[in-house]
Structure 1
Amino acid sequence: MSGADALKQAFREHPSGVALITAMTDEGPVGLTASSVASVGIDPPALAFSVTRATGSAGGVLGAETHLVHLLDSRHAEVAQAFAVSGAERFTPEQGWASLETGEPYLPASRVALRCRPLHTLGVGSSVVVVAEVLGAVFGEAAEPMVYVDRRFHTLPAADRA
């Protein structure tokens, strides 16, 4: 099995959190679903994610001065799916979008939206890895966690917060 096929199969079976990354561009709001978001550190507070192709929504996110990283939960499987498919309906009133005072498209029903600015980017083949500083966060109400595994979104039982 080739390295690419092995990587695809290995990560297809490895659950990951689901995020929605949004930004405002001169052409309007852009967004994409990402399962590659990870915490990097706290000094400075930073996270990382990767996007494939620097065109379309990914190009808009990469070109923006700031963006929001929404960490999604089970209530947002349909929104995550819409933003994962090219040409699907995005930023509709039914999805519940608003804008922060700073202009980024914001999903108020998300459990948290992290406002970020890019610090570093690294091209890796047709992908770009972004390291971004977390400037602040808007917290909402949490629901059951959602993960992406085997090309589908799955709800996990809520963790005991006792």
Structure 2
Amino acid sequence: MRGLTLTSVASASANPPLFVFSVATESRRLASLRAAPVFSVAFPAADQADVAARFAEPERGGPPIPDGIVFHDSGVPMMSGSRAGAIAHLVDSMQVGSSMLFVAEADEIYTGRDAPPLLYVGRQFATLSPALGAERE
């Protein structure tokens, strides 16, 4: 099972449902991403940093299929318990500087649980602070 942590995913089109992301050209995961007929993208919750870290830092080791991974009916691995995600396929790519920019089409979009999001900033995981003026207990 192969995976990676993306620093950003952006919507490119509502119809068809397209999104874009980039991967460094020196990434060890680039060839497997290009070869995959379908893949999943997850938007993890703040409490899923351990599962996400396995993909951000593959040298950490651990089981080949970490806890928190389930399989879609198509056989594609997905992060269970995430805020949302998609099963997708690549439709285009181009080199942009030292990265490959990919365009993917979502074949299936799913929503998960309502939880604070997990962010990946500066090669570290983080969460959002409560909004200014938010009610406090």
Interval containing the TM-score (normalised by the shorter chain) = 0.7 to 0.9
For structure 1, the 5+ residue unaligned runs are 1-28
Q: Corresponding residue for 2:18?
A: 46
Verify: 1:33 aligned to 2:40, yes or no: no
Aligned length: 132
2:128 — aligned with what? 156
TM-score calculated relative to the size of structure 1: 0.71
- In structure 1, give the amino acid aligned to 2:28: G
Q: What's 2:38 paired with?
A: 66
Whole-angstrom CA distance in 1 between matches of 2:65 and 2:92: 33
Higher strand share: 1
Corresponding residue for residue 81 of structure 2: 109
Shift in Å, 1:53 = 2.5
Instruction: Tell me what 2:117 maps to.
Output: 145
Pairwise CA RMSD of aligned residues?
2.3
The structure-2 alpha-carbon separation of the partners of 1:150 and 1:94, relative to structure 1 and needing over 3 Å to count, comes to closer
Q: Distance in 1 between matches of 2:64 and 2:71?
A: 13
Q: Structure 1 stretch 132-141 or stretch 79-88: which is displaced more? A: 79-88
